[in-house]
Each structure stands twice: as C-alpha cells, then as structure tokens.
Structure 1
Amino acid sequence: MKKSEIRKEIMVRRTALSKAEMVEINASLLRQFSILDFTEINSIHIFLPIVEKNEPDTFLMIDWLKAHQPQIKIIVPKADFDTALMTNHHYEGKEDLQENLYKILEPQKGALHTGDVDMVIIPLLAFDMSGNRVGYGKGFYDRFLQPMGTRKIGLSLFSELTVIDDVNVHDVKLDECLTPEKRYVFPVVFK
C-alpha cells in the first residue's frame, strides 16, 4: 500500500479509538518502554504528543524516565516549518511548553541541546517488518535522523504492516518499534 493510503486508513482508525482505549494503549506502550535497556543512554529525544491526532502519550514516558532514570537528559523537538528542520531542547517541564500553529507542543525556554542523542523516540502512523515507517509526510524526522548514528525507536498504536510500497531512498529506518503488544527489533528474522 502507498503511504498516502496508509495515512488515510490509520488516521480513520486512530480517530475511532475511544478515550478508554487510548488509556489502555498508552499504559501498554509505557510497559513496553519501561523494559528497554537504558544502560548506555545519557540522552533521549522524545516527541510530544498531538492530542487531537490521538498520538501516544509520551508524557507518561517522560514522567517514568524522571522517576526511574533521572540521570538521562530528556530532549524534546522544536520544528521550523519553513525549513522542515528540527532543533533539540532540554525538557524543562510542561509549564515551558506552548502549542504552535499546528497544535504541536514545543519548548519555549528549554536550552538548545547540541550534544549527542543516544536514543530517539519517533512518532509514526504505521511501520513494516523492515523498519520502514509512515509519518505525516513532511520528512522532519528523516532529515533529523539522517546524520545521526542513534538508536531509533518508533511508537505505534497498531501492529505492523506487511509492505509499504513507496519507500524513499531518504527514508530512515527504525531500529525498533514498540506497539502495545510487543517490541519489534529490525531487521526481523523469521525462524
């Protein structure tokens, strides 16, 4: 299936999820996140959820990190829609966040992070068994991730697809993807 078709289908499925279903899905995603190996992780870039799009509640993960891995620096993105580039900023708490024109929460005073990022938690609509992902189509994360040798982990509300027909040479593959049911590590090896 083409990315444009996948986006339409997944957005319909996401919109149909009730608040109770989202609470259950987010709790399951947090369980999957909490069992990741954070041994070598000093900094994590984590996207902030767009509530209107029923995105995973990454604030649960941020709160978990602060309670269980307080030594890890939490980095959040700020998008420049003119250049389609992102910058990393230290997370200073919810009080430092403000919605931009696209209803995306962004840091206002959090210091710019220019160092390494050991793990990136990536938004997506869907993924396949090769680690390809379908996002919203603007390419922010592909541009952001291309020069980085970081651990790339997607968060998906739904199980994997079998094929994304129009993978682009500039698309950056995931290393892992968390779903409510399980963690996928790519490439997936079938036995």
Structure 2
Amino acid sequence: MLKVEIRKQALKERLSLTDEDYESKNDSLLNQFKLLDFSSVKTLHVFLPIVKKKEPNTFLLIDWLVRNHPEIKIIIPKADFNTSSMTHHEYIGLNDLQKNSYNIPEPQTANQYHGEIDMVLIPLLAFDNQGYRVGYGKGFYDRFLENLNAQKIGLSLSPAIEKIDDVNKHDIRLNFCITPTEIIKF
C-alpha cells in the first residue's frame, strides 16, 4: 500500500477505538515499554500525544519514567510548522504545556536542549515489517532523526502492516517498535 492510503486507513482505525479500548491499549503499551533496557539511557526524547487523534498516550510513559528513572532527562519537541522543523526542550511538567493550533501539547518556558539524545520515542500512524513508518507526511521526524545516533523506537497501538510500497531514501528506519502486545526489533 501507498503511504497516502495507509494514513487514511490507520487514522480511521485509531479514531474508531472506543475510549475503553484506547485506554486498555495504552496500559498494555506502557507494560511493554517497561521491558526496555534503560541502563544506558541518560536522555530520552518523547513526543506528546494528540489525544484527539488517539495517539499513544505518552504521558503514561513519562509519568512512569519520572517515578522509576528520575536520572533520565526527558526531552520533548516543539514544532515550527513554517519550516517543518522542531526544537527540543527539557520536560518540566504539565503546567508548562499548552496546545498549539494542531492540538499538540508543547512546552512554553522550558529550556531548549542541544545535547546528546540516547533514545527517541517516535509517533506514527502505521509501520511495516521492515521497520519503516508512516507519519502525517510532513517529515518532521525524518529530518530530526537523519543524523541522530540514538535508539529509534516507534509507538503503535496497532500491529505492523506487511509493507509500505513507497518508502524513499529520506525515510528513517526504526530500531524497534512497541505495540500493546510486543516489542519488535528490526
């Protein structure tokens, strides 16, 4: 399938989840996330969810990290839609967040971060058995990940699809993808 078709289908499936299914899948995703090896992770970059689009609730992961791995610095993005780029900021709590015009929570006063990143949790609408992902199509994460030497981990509430037919040279492959039922290594 082509990315444009995958995007439509994946979003439709996600939006059709009941609130109970959505919550259950997020709890299961958290349980899988807890199985990762965090021993060499000093800095973890995580997207903040567009709850309206039923993206994985990364606040559950953030809360767990804060309680169980306070030594890990959490970094969150802020998007610039004019340049299709992101800046990266230290997560200092819910009170610093405000939704932008796309309903994405973003930091308001947190310091910008320019240091090393060990692990990145990546949003996606779908992913395939080769480790490629389909996002919303703006390329924010492909540009960000291009020269980044970090573990690249997708988060998905759905299982893999067979193959994305129109992968291109700018598409960055995941190292892992976490679903509610498993952690897939590529």
Shared fold (TM-score, shorter chain, > 0.5) = yes
SS at match of 2:120: strand
Q: CA deviation at 1:168?
A: 1.1
Aligned to 1:49: 49
Structure 1 length normalisation: TM-score? 0.97
- Gaps in structure 2 of 5+ consecutive residues: none
Aligned to 2:149: 149
The amino acid of 2:152's aligned partner reads K
| Residues in 2 aligned to 1:142 and 1:101: alpha-carbon distance in whole angstroms | 22
| Residues in 1 aligned to 2:161 and 2:21: alpha-carbon distance in whole angstroms | 21
Deviation track 1:53-110 (CA, whole Å, cap 9, x = no partner) reads 0001000000000000000000000000011011110001000000111111100011
| Residues in 1 aligned to 2:27 and 2:84: alpha-carbon distance in whole angstroms | 31
The amino acid of 1:77's aligned partner reads P
Deviation track 1:98-153 (CA, whole Å, cap 9, x = no partner) reads 01111111000111110000000000011111110000000000000001011000
User: How many residue pairs are counted as aligned between the two chains?
Assistant: 186
| Residues in 2 aligned to 1:14 and 1:131: alpha-carbon distance in whole angstroms | 20
- Identity across the alignment (%): 54
Aligned to 1:104: 104
SS at match of 1:29: helix
| Residues in 1 aligned to 2:116 and 2:184: alpha-carbon distance in whole angstroms | 24
| Residues in 1 aligned to 2:69 and 2:62: alpha-carbon distance in whole angstroms | 10
Aligned to 1:184: 184
| Residues in 2 aligned to 1:7 and 1:126: alpha-carbon distance in whole angstroms | 7
SS at match of 2:86: strand
| Residues in 2 aligned to 1:88 and 1:79: alpha-carbon distance in whole angstroms | 9
The amino acid of 2:141's aligned partner reads Y
Aligned to 1:88: 88
The amino acid of 2:168's aligned partner reads N
**Please, what is the CA RMSD of the aligned residues?**
0.5
| Residues in 2 aligned to 1:142 and 1:131: alpha-carbon distance in whole angstroms | 13
- Gaps in structure 1 of 5+ consecutive residues: 187-191
Structure 2 length normalisation: TM-score? 0.99
Aligned to 2:23: 23
Aligned to 2:66: 66
| Residues in 2 aligned to 1:130 and 1:13: alpha-carbon distance in whole angstroms | 21
SS at match of 1:162: coil
| Residues in 2 aligned to 1:155 and 1:26: alpha-carbon distance in whole angstroms | 10
